[in-house]
Each structure stands twice: as structure tokens, then as C-alpha cells.
């Protein structure tokens, strides 16, 4: 009830109920962050915005290198044969891929476009893992010729590879993609060959019967943002059991076990109420789960003088997510009919596709004063779905104030949409703190470059 009593004259006001929204604890049990951050990798946010405009994606070269090294060391310290491959679809900006490759990563691609991108960057075919359910004949022919690792998704594809191998008199080593129930994660049964139903073993037999094909690898990718490391223990166990069975039955010799990607990043998944620091396993915990199981399962091979398989990793999200931020500026404030404050910023779900499933960390970039209040953050699109954050406690923001969204390195620079707005600059903070554009902001010319206007439509005056 509102108390509006003045010293001399009490005035009666109709009582109203108001939700108490600006407390210390929110419904997620977390104390709202009062932090602000005015630099990224020691480069002032104000300088970045001044020089490159808003909104702006900023990538840290140092952080990305560190993450790749950390991942590869965590696995190499626990298992003798490890090769990491960069998952292109997670972020295929050339600069990002090049940094991963300089750190020793191969390329993991899932389409003709991604294959061509990797080759164009100078990655040789032998260092490309070719996944995905759609590999048209022309790109398969090229990939086979160039010695890429072909990960087969279905029987028609196996047939096509067999045809190409025969027609060109080549011997092709192939990897089968497997799917199965880990008992922990939702099975991704649409990719690859199912183990439980016997489909995968049938495929291994098909390969064995072809004079031109050789089964040398097994692949599976059990999901994404997998927060339970037991899923990986189950995965490796199933893959190793299948390896032994396929080798014994069909006479193949498996040299690679590829466990795919899927490690969670330190991002807050919507609907998970505990902070990511508490629920997301560390890279070392993932490495331990996978390497322990693989060492145990391949112990016998070593005793018998058969080599342990090469462990292939295709981690995307957990490597790149925290190496990139998005800076966005306030363009206006308004009050919604239900009393909530709404703030409109210049970056929306067109740029931050992951806003649909994460509660990103949102930080002001200067010290703000005033009472924090529940705020809706809207993007600039003329679309109801353009919500960057449905509810966040923030002090009042002025037009021009810059907010920092993080982490945003995974699946945004690939899934973003050219929709309503131009896509902005993406810059890289180099190891030496120099900053350069790695993807230039779009303009009218860039966005309409592929359009063709028939002659009779050139004049738009009414006829
Ligand atoms: C997407 C994908 C990855 C990378 O997944 P993350 O969850 O980003 O680690 C790896 N392998 C395959 C086959 C994929 O489709």
C-alpha cells in the first residue's frame, strides 16, 4: 500500500499492489551483478565504438588461442594420440579459423561451402573432417581426391562414395558416423547409423564388401551444450565396443575415434537456474571422462600390440564462446503499460541468435547510478520476437550508453541474419592489442550485390 501522508494533511489514496522487483535476490537466487566493465582485453570500449561504430562484435585473439591450447593440453596430457579439429559452423570467420589452425587445429566442416572455405584458407584435404548429411557429388569427388576424412551419414551417401571410388579407381578410407543412446543425453538419431538396431554394423559390412572402401574411423557427436560428463563416458564406451565388434566381424581396422563436440560453454542456458560456474563442467572434467574411458577400453589393444586409436575432437562452442563480446548502444527508453521499463538497443536477435536460448551476461560499460529496476531489453527490429533479454535488473540507462553482451563467440557470427538491419563490423583485438576489422560492416551495395533487377522493373514510377 502506498503511503502518501504529509505532515499536516493526510490524503487517502486508493491502495494498489505492486510487485516488488528491485530486491537483492532475484528468482534465480543470484545477487544481481553490479559490475561494469569499460574495456575489453585492455582496449577501452569507448575507443572501439568511436572507431568502429555500434553495434560491434569484438573477438580476443589471445583468449581464443588460450582456449585452444587449454583444450588440446587437457586431452594430450591424458591420452597419447589426440587431434583437435575446429568446428567451422560454430564460427567460420576466416580470422577465427586461421587462429585455430595456427594453434594446430584441423578443420571440421559440414557442407560444400565450409569445405571450400577451409581449403581456401590453406587447410590441406588430409586435415579436413567432412561431416554432415548433405555432401553433393561434386564436393565429394573433390574431397576424396584431396584426401579429406569423409564421415558417412547414410547409406545413399555410402553408395555414392563407393561409386566415385570405383569410377576413379581410388581406395577411399571412410569413417562411419554412429548414433546411439548414451542414457544421459537426448539421442540425436537423425545423424549417422544407429548402433542399437544393428544398422551401423550393417553399414560396416557394406564397407567391408566394397573392394574400394576401407573402414578406418568411427565418429559420433552426441549433442550440444552437454553438461553431464557421464554422457561422454557412455559415448566412448559404446564406440569402443562397436570398434571391437566391427573389427572382429568385418576385419576392418579402426584408427580414429572421433567424439565430436558438444562441451558446454560458460554461458547461462535459459531454464537452468544455477550460474554456469556451478553447473558447467571444466574442460579438464570432460577430458578426464573421455580419456579415462578410452584408455581403459583400449588397454587390451596396447597389450596385443595393436595401436590405440587416434582421438579426434571437434569442440566448437566451449572453445570460442568466451573469446567474443557484442557491444550495443541504447537508442531509447520507454515505460510499458504493465509498469516495466523497456530499453531499446541497436543489436537484436538478428545479430545475437543465441539470445533465444541463453541469458547472456549483460554489463554496463560505465558506472551507473540510480536504482536498479527490472528492465526488458529490446533489439531494433520491427518484430515482436526481438527480445535481447526478457528481464534484467539495470539502473537507468541513457541514450548512447553501451552494454556488453558476453559470451557470444559461438553460433552468432554464423547464424546471424541479414534481416531489416545491416550487419555491423566484427573486429579482432590482436595479441599485441592492435585492433583490426575481420568482417566489415555491410552496406547497401554488399547486401544487394546478389540481386538482379529485370529491365522492365528498373523504372519504379507508376505506369
Ligand atoms: C556442431 C558440431 C560440432 C561442434 O559442436 P559444439 O557443440 O559447438 O562443440 C562438432 N561436430 C559436429 C559433427 C557438429 O555438427
Is 91 touching ligand 1 by the criterion CB < 6 Å? no
**How many CB atoms lie under 10 A from the CB of residue 237?**
15
Assign residue 306 the CATH number of its domain: 3.20.20.10
State residue 387 phi and psi, 5-degree precision.
-115, 120
Q: Which of 284, 315, 346 is the endpoint of a domain?
A: 315
Residues 61-88: what's their mean pLDDT?
Answer: 98
80-95: pLDDT as tens digits? 999 999 999 999 999 9
* CA pair distance 237, 202, nearest whole angstrom: 20
Residue 83 lies in a domain: no
Structural contact between residues 362 and 271, judged by C-beta atoms closer than 8 angstroms: no
The CA–CA distances, whole Å, from 194 to 130, 135, 159, 181, 224 equal: 19, 20, 17, 9, 19
Angle at 347 between CA 343 and CA 348, to 5 degrees: 85
Statement: residue 26 has pLDDT above 90:
no
- Which residue minimizes the CA distance to atom 10 of ligand 1? 261
> Which of 47, 51, 41 lies closest to 437 in space, CA to CA?
51
Determine whether 282 is exposed, middle or buried from the number of CB atoms within 10 Å of its CB (0-12, 13-18, 19+): middle
Is 309 touching ligand 1 by the criterion CB < 6 Å? no
Ligand 1 center to 262 CA (angstroms): 6
* CA pair distance 63, 41, nearest whole angstrom: 9
Assign residue 352 the CATH number of its domain: 2.40.37.10
Is 262 touching ligand 1 by the criterion CB < 6 Å? yes
Residue 241, C-alpha cell as written in the block: 565396443
On average, the pLDDT of the chain sits at 94
* CA pair distance 286, 314, nearest whole angstrom: 13
> Which of 355, 265, 282, 259 lies closest to 317 in space, CA to CA?
265
* CA pair distance 98, 452, nearest whole angstrom: 34
78-137: pLDDT as tens digits? 999 999 999 999 999 999 999 999 999 999 999 999 999 999 999 999 999 999 999 999
pLDDT score at 187: 87
157 and 46 within one domain:
no
Residue 451 lies in a domain: no
Structural contact between residues 151 and 217, judged by C-beta atoms closer than 8 angstroms: yes
159 and 295 within one domain:
yes
Structural contact between residues 322 and 407, judged by C-beta atoms closer than 8 angstroms: yes
pLDDT score at 23: 43
pLDDT score at 182: 96
370 and 272 within one domain:
no
pLDDT-above-90 percentage for the chain: 90
Residue 376 lies in a domain: yes
H-helix or E-strand spanning residue 268: strand 268-269
Statement: residue 428 has pLDDT above 50:
yes
Residue 103 lies in a domain: no
Statement: residue 1 has pLDDT above 90:
no
Helix 155-167, helix 199-209: angle, nearest 10: 10
- Kindly indicate the confidence band of residue 12, based on its pLDDT and cuts at 50, 70 and 90: low
pTM tops 0.95, yes or no: no
Ligand 1 center to 159 CA (angstroms): 25
Is 221 touching ligand 1 by the criterion CB < 6 Å? yes
Residue 273, C-alpha cell as written in the block: 537456474
pLDDT score at 35: 84
379 and 424 within one domain:
yes
pLDDT-above-70 percentage for the chain: 93
267 and 135 within one domain:
yes
Structural contact between residues 283 and 66, judged by C-beta atoms closer than 8 angstroms: no
291 and 180 within one domain:
yes
pLDDT score at 29: 43
Residue 64 lies in a domain: no
288-335: pLDDT as tens digits? 999 999 999 999 998 898 999 999 999 999 999 999 999 999 999 999
333 and 307 within one domain:
no
- Kindly indicate the confidence band of residue 2, based on its pLDDT and cuts at 50, 70 and 90: very low
- Which of 108, 115, 320 to mutate to test ligand 1, by most ligand atoms within 8 A of the CB atom? 108
Residue 94 lies in a domain: no
Diameter over CA atoms, the chain: 102
Ligand 1 center to 130 CA (angstroms): 12
Q: Which domain holds residue 332?
A: 39-58+324-443
Q: Which of 315, 348, 374 is the endpoint of a domain?
A: 315
* CA pair distance 226, 27, nearest whole angstrom: 24
Q: Which of 288, 315, 342 is the endpoint of a domain?
A: 315
Residue 452 lies in a domain: no
* CA pair distance 300, 304, nearest whole angstrom: 6
pLDDT score at 302: 84
153-177: pLDDT as tens digits? 999 999 999 999 999 999 999 999 9
Higher per-residue confidence, 8 vs 30 = 8
Helix 137-145, helix 112-120: angle, nearest 10: 40
227-256: pLDDT as tens digits? 999 999 999 999 999 999 999 999 999 999
- Kindly indicate the confidence band of residue 16, based on its pLDDT and cuts at 50, 70 and 90: low
306 and 208 within one domain:
yes
Residue 463 lies in a domain: no
Ligand 1 center to 260 CA (angstroms): 6
Ligand 1 center to 362 CA (angstroms): 26
394-416: pLDDT as tens digits? 999 999 999 999 999 999 999 99
- Which of 97, 261, 411 to mutate to test ligand 1, by most ligand atoms within 8 A of the CB atom? 261
pLDDT score at 9: 63
Q: What is the number of domains present in the chain?
A: 2
Residue 193, C-alpha cell as written in the block: 547409423
278 and 155 within one domain:
yes
The CA–CA distances, whole Å, from 122 to 102, 113, 116, 126 equal: 11, 14, 10, 12
305 and 161 within one domain:
yes
366 and 261 within one domain:
no
172-212: pLDDT as tens digits? 999 999 999 999 998 889 999 999 999 999 999 999 999 99
- Which of 188, 221, 267 to mutate to test ligand 1, by most ligand atoms within 8 A of the CB atom? 221
343 and 279 within one domain:
no
Cis peptide before 55, with omega less than 30 degrees from 0?
yes
Residue 337, C-alpha cell as written in the block: 503499460
Amino acid at each position: 500500500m502506498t503511503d502518501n501522508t504529509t505532515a499536516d494533511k493526510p490524503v487517502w489514496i486508493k491502495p494498489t499492489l505492486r510487485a516488488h522487483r528491485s530486491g537483492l535476490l532475484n528468482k534465480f537466487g543470484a545477487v544481481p551483478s553490479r559490475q561494469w566493465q569499460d574495456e575489453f582485453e585492455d582496449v577501452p570500449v569507448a575507443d572501439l565504438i568511436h572507431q568502429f561504430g555500434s553495434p560491434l562484435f569484438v573477438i580476443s585473439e589471445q583468449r581464443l588461442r588460450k582456449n585452444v591450447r587449454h583444450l588440446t593440453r587437457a586431452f594430450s596430457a591424458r591420452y597419447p594420440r589426440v587431434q583437435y579439429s575446429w568446428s567451422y559452423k560454430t564460427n567460420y570467420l576466416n580470422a577465427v579459423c586461421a587462429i585455430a589452425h595456427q594453434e594446430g587445429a584441423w578443420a571440421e566442416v559440414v557442407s560444400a561451402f565450409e569445405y571450400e572455405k577451409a581449403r581456401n584458407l590453406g587447410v590441406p584435404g588430409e586435415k579436413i573432417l567432412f561431416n554432415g548429411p548433405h555432401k553433393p557429388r561434386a564436393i565429394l569427388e573433390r574431397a576424396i581426391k584431396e584426401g579429406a576424412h569423409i564421415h558417412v551419414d547414410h547409406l545413399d551417401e555410402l553408395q555414392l562414395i563407393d561409386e566415385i571410388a570405383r569410377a576413379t579407381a581410388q581406395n577411399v578410407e571412410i569413417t562411419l558416423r554412429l548414433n546411439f543412446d548414451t542414457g544421459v543425453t537426448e539421442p540425436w538419431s537423425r545423424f549417422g547409423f544407429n548402433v542399437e538396431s544393428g544398422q551401423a554394423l550393417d553399414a560396416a559390412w557394406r564397407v567391408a564388401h566394397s573392394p574400394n572402401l576401407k573402414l578406418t574411423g568411427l565418429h559420433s557427436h552426441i549433442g550440444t551444450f552437454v553438461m553431464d560428463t557421464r554422457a561422454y563416458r557412455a559415448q566412448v564406451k559404446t564406440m569402443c565396443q562397436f570398434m571391437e565388434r566391427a573389427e572382429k566381424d568385418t576385419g576392418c581396422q579402426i584408427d580414429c575415434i572421433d567424439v565430436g563436440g558438444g562441451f558446454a560453454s560458460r554461458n547461462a542456458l535459459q531454464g537452468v537456474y544455477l550460474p554456469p560456474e556451478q553447473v558447467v563442467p571444466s574442460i579438464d572434467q570432460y577430458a578426464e571422462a573421455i580419456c579415462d574411458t578410452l584408455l581403459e577400453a583400449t588397454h587390451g589393444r596396447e597389450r596385443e600390440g595393436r595401436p590405440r586409436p587416434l582421438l579426434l575432437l571437434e569442440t566448437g562452442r566451449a572453445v570460442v564462446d568466451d573469446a567474443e563480446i557484442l557491444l550495443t548502444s541504447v537508442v531509447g527508453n520507454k515505460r510499458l503499460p504493465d509498469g516495466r521499463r523497456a530499453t531499446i538497443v541497436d543489436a537484436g536477435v538478428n545479430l545475437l541468435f543465441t539470445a533465444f536460448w541463453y541469458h547472456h551476461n549483460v554489463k554496463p560499460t560505465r558506472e551507473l547510478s540510480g536504482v536498479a529496476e527490472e528492465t526488458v531489453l529490446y533489439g531494433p527490429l520491427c518484430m515482436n520476437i526481438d527480445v535481447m533479454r526478457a528481464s534484467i535488473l539495470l539502473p537507468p540507462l541513457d541514450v548512447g550508453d553501451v552494454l556488453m553482451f558476453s559470451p557470444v563467440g559461438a553460433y552468432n557470427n554464423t547464424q546471424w541474419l541479414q534481416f531489416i538491419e545491416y550487419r555491423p563490423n566484427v573486429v579482432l583485438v590482436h595479441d599485441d592489442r592492435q585492433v583490426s576489422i575481420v568482417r566489415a560492416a555491410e552496406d547497401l551495395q554488399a547486401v544487394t550485390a546478389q540481386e538482379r533487377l529485370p529491365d522492365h522493373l528498373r523504372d519504379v514510377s507508376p505506369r
